[in-house]
Amino acid sequence: METIDLRGVSCPTNFVKAKLALEDIATGATVEFLLDDGEPVKNVPRSLKADGHKLLGLKETDGHYVLTLEKGED
Amino acid sequence: MADPKIDLKNLKAGGFIKERGKDLFTVRLRVPGGRMSVERLSRIASVAQKYGKGFVHLSVRQSIELININFADFDAVVAELGEDQQKVASCGARVRVPTACGGCEYNPNGLVDTQKSALEVDEKLFGTVTGHHKFKVGFAGCPFDCPKSATNDVGLQGAIWPTLDAEACISCGLCAKSCTEGALSMGEDGKPVFDTDKCIYCGDCLKVCPTGAWKEEKRGYSVRIGGKWGRSPLVGTLYATFLPEDRVVDFISSVLAWYQEKAEGAGRVRIGDIILREGCASLLDHLRKEFPDHVLDRTILPQIIDTQLPLQKQ
């Protein structure tokens, strides 16, 4: 599973980077995003959901968050 | 030469506002909710260029104001704007053009269609004579409240009441993480615990929930009444929750009826000051008759924001 590290990237750049990363991933594949606490973890998941991706889970690890999602249709 | 028959009061009521210079007026154009077609914008621009000073002013209530219009050009300006679409905005003791944020159509935070509500209020209530003072209505699509709804005589704010389908919940914790108000936390059973007292109805939990386990139980407007700014600011307080979008015009009409009756003889006084005088129970009781499912049991008086000089008086 691919992991995309968006730690240290602020909103909305983190969301745009996530979108760009998802362009190279096949529909149906599972991806992990590493997100900072605060605004990033509040905003990025819901924006990705609104873009049609399926959120699978969220875990807190060592002060950041790991968001797992399944890529939706292009 | 000035026409002696021109009544400045009527001109102002019709959206023509006297400027400093001789014979010069501002023409305020109605832009309910702050949205206008590019076509209309371009027509306004050409009229402004032909008759104005080379700039327009965007009023704080979202209207476009043509500046430095000579009153001799009124007829031409009105004709060239196209009277049907380019309605002028009112001043005076009337219901003003409603303001609104972009609403839910393209803004991801928006919970209700504020643009539609603003157009309905504009169509049905704009220009209604209050008999007392101005009456402003503003719409915010969500509790972020960019339009500062509670500073209007009636301010409406989009709201959602969430409910959890625990079966559909996958215990991801995104809702608890997204809830800015701390109304959601994850329980020992891995399901979110909802502290309803902290919820401000923003709907963030529904927006982030991966499985749709958070559902909408109610949607509508939180309604605050009695706000104003100016010399003696007041912040309006909550009278109704989850007012359906299709009852907005009726609700505002009912508030207006109370204001028109209670302010009788009081002169040029806004509804917030009438509430301070009459108490909020009278308005609550009045509204409850027509909107029993939405009006609160109690509220507080409009909040006085005592910011004005001179400080030594305080």
Tell me if B172 and A42 make a contact (CB, 8 A cut-off): no
| Domain ranges within chain B, ordered by starting residue | 8-81, 99-160+220-305, 161-218
Fold match, B8-81 / B161-218: yes
Among all residues of A, which ones are annotated catalytic? 11
Contact of A57 with chain B, judged by CB distance below 8 Å, is answered with yes
β-pairing verdict for B137-140 and B56-58: unpaired
Looking at residue B78, its pLDDT comes to 82
Alpha-carbon separation of residue B132 from B211, B264, B300 (angstroms):
52, 8, 23
Q: Contact B207/B216 with Cβ under 8 angstroms?
A: no
Residue with tokens 């215990």: B171
Strands B303-304 and B234-235: antiparallel
The answer to whether A40 faces chain B, any CB pair under 8 Å, is: no
pLDDT at B2: 46
Residue of B nearest to A36 (CA): B177
Closest partner CB to B173 (pick from A42, A54, A58)? A58
Helices (H), B263-312: 271-278, 280-290
**CATH architecture observed for domain A2-70:** 2-Layer Sandwich (3.30)
Q: Is A66 on the interface with B (CB under 8 A)?
A: no
Alpha helices in B82-235, H assignment, sequence order: 114-125, 174-178, 204-208
Chain A residue closest to B175 (CA)? A42
Distance from CA of A24 to the nearest CA of B (A): 22
Q: What is the pLDDT of residue B1?
A: 44
Contact A45 B178 (CB under 8 A): yes
| pLDDT tens profile B191-213 | 999 999 999 999 999 999 988 99
Find out if CATH 3.90.226.30 is the number for domain B99-160+220-305: no
Instruction: Give A-chain residues touching B208 at CB under 8 angstroms.
Output: 42, 45-46, 49, 55
Residues in B touching A45 (Cβ below 8 Å): 174, 178, 208
DSSP structure class, residue B180? T
- State the Cα–Cα distance between residues A40 and B285, nearest whole angstrom: 45
- pTM for this predicted structure: 0.89
B177 chain-A contacts, CB cut-off 8 A: 41-42, 58, 65
CATH class of B161-218: alpha beta
Q: Which fold has domain B8-81?
A: Alpha-Beta Plaits (3.30.70)
> Shortest Cα distance from B188 to chain A (angstroms)?
16
A56 vs B: CB within 8 A: yes
Report percent pLDDT > 90 for chain A.
82
So what's the pLDDT on residue B306? 84
Per CB-CB distance under 8 Å, the chain B contacts of A39 are none
CA distance B139 to B159: 12
Low-confidence ranges of chain B (pLDDT < 70): 1-14, 83-91, 311-314
Peptide linkage before B302 cis (omega within 30 of 0)? no
- pLDDT for residue B313: 59
State how far residue B174 is from chain A, nearest Cα, in angstroms: 6
The label of the residue with tokens 């790991």 reads: A66
**CB-based burial label for B311 (10 Å; 0-12, 13-18, 19+):** exposed
Per-residue pLDDT tens digits for A40-53? 998 999 999 999 99
Pick from A50, A55, A65: CB nearest B108: A50
User: Is the CB of A45 less than 8 angstroms away from the CB of B108?
Assistant: no
Residue ranges per domain, chain A?
Answer: 2-70
Nearest to B172 among A47, A50, A55 (CB): A55
Kindly report, residue by residue over A1-37, the tens digit of the pLDDT: 899 999 999 999 999 999 999 999 999 999 999 999 9
- Compute the distance between CA of residue B176 and CA of residue B183 in angstroms, rounded to an integer: 8
**Closest Cα of chain B to A3: distance in Å?**
18
Give pLDDT, residue B304.
95
